[in-house]
Amino acid sequence: MAKAGIRESATFDTKAEAVEWATKLEAEIAGGKRRAYSKVQKTLGDAMDKYLDEISPSHAKHEWNVTRIAFLKSDLAFVGETVRNVKPESIGKWRDARLKEVKSSTVNRDLNLLSAVFEAAKTEWKWIHDNPVHDVKRPKDPPPRRRRVPDADVTLMTTALGLSDGKAIETTQQYTAMAFLIAIETGMRQGEIVSTVRPNVHAEHRYVHIPKSKNGDARDVPLSARALALWNRLPIVAGEQRCFPVSQGSVDALWRKVRKKVAQTHPHMADLNFHDSRHEACTRLSRKLNVLALAKMIGHRDIQSLMIYYDETPAELAARLD
C-alpha cells in the first residue's frame, strides 16, 4: 500500500490478516507514528557513529562500546548499507561466522550492542520501522565459569608479579598484584579498583565508595581488616589522587603476560582470569554475610545473579554443617 508518500508491502495467508495490517498501518501514518523512511539514506555506520555521540556516553560501558563498535565497523560486511536495508539474514550469517571464532557469550554481547544501535535508529531518530536484530536467533550462552582461586594460586600469581611482604609497591606488576588481592578480598571489579581515587577510600569508616559501577549505580564497599590493610599499603604518590597510578590496560596486559609465564611450570594456571577473583570473593564472603548484605556489597540488583558467582564445593558446605 502507499499513503502520504509511504510505501509498505507484506504477504499474508488470509485477506483478513492483510486488511488488519493495512488498517493498523494507516492509523500509524495518520497518527504521525510512521514516516517515509525510504528517504532516509543513513547507513548502519552512520547509526553507529550517532549512537556513540548521543546515546553511549551516558552508559557505564561507554569505553567498551567505543572499542566494540570500532570492531563491528571493521567486521560487518553490511556496515555501509542503508540502515533500513540491513536484513536479519545478513546479521544471522555474520553471527554464524563469528561463532566459529569466539564464544557464544562474546557474540551475544556484540548482538546486544548492535540491537541497541538499531533500537536508537528506530525510537530516537525514526530512521527505521523495525529492529532486525529482534528476528535473529541468539546462540546459547556457555555455562558460567566455575574457576575458583585457592590461596596457592593467589600466591603463585602475586609472587610472579613481584609482590612480597614488606616490599614497597613501585612497579605496575606490583600494583597489578595488589589489585588482585583487593579483588579477592572485596569482590570489586578490576576497573573499579584501578580507577579508585584517594578521597573515595574512607579508611576511618572502613569502606570504599564507587561513584559508578557496571550497572550505572554507585555503591559503598565495606572493608574487612585485611582489605583495609591492603588499601593502606598502597603508597601515596605526590600530586596523584589515584590509588593505582597505572592504566587498566597495562594491568590487564601484564596479568596475561605473567600468567602465561607462570603456566609454563604450573599448567593449571593458564585459565586463571583476573575476573575469577570476583567469583572467589563472592563464595568467601557468603560465609560471613547474609544474601541481602552480599548482594549490596557486590552490587547486584538481582539476588539470583549472585548464583553465577557463588560456588562453594560440597566439601566446603559439609564442613559448615559441623
Active centre residues (catalytic) = 189, 214, 300, 309
At 201, give phi and psi (nearest 5°).
Answer: -100, 105
Contact in structure between 60 and 216 (CB atoms under 8 Å): yes
3-state secondary structure at position 189: coil
Torsion of CA 157, 160, 163, 164, to 10 degrees: 100
Query: Angle between the 104-123 and 88-99 helix axes, to the nearest 10 degrees?
Result: 160
Backbone angles phi, psi at 3, to 5 degrees: -155, 135
Enclosing H/E stretch for 186: helix 172-186
| Chain position carrying cell 531518530 | 125
- Between CA 178 and CA 182 the distance in angstroms is 6
Q: How many CA atoms lie within 13 A of 264 on its CB side?
A: 7
Sign, CA dihedral 193-197-200-206, equals positive
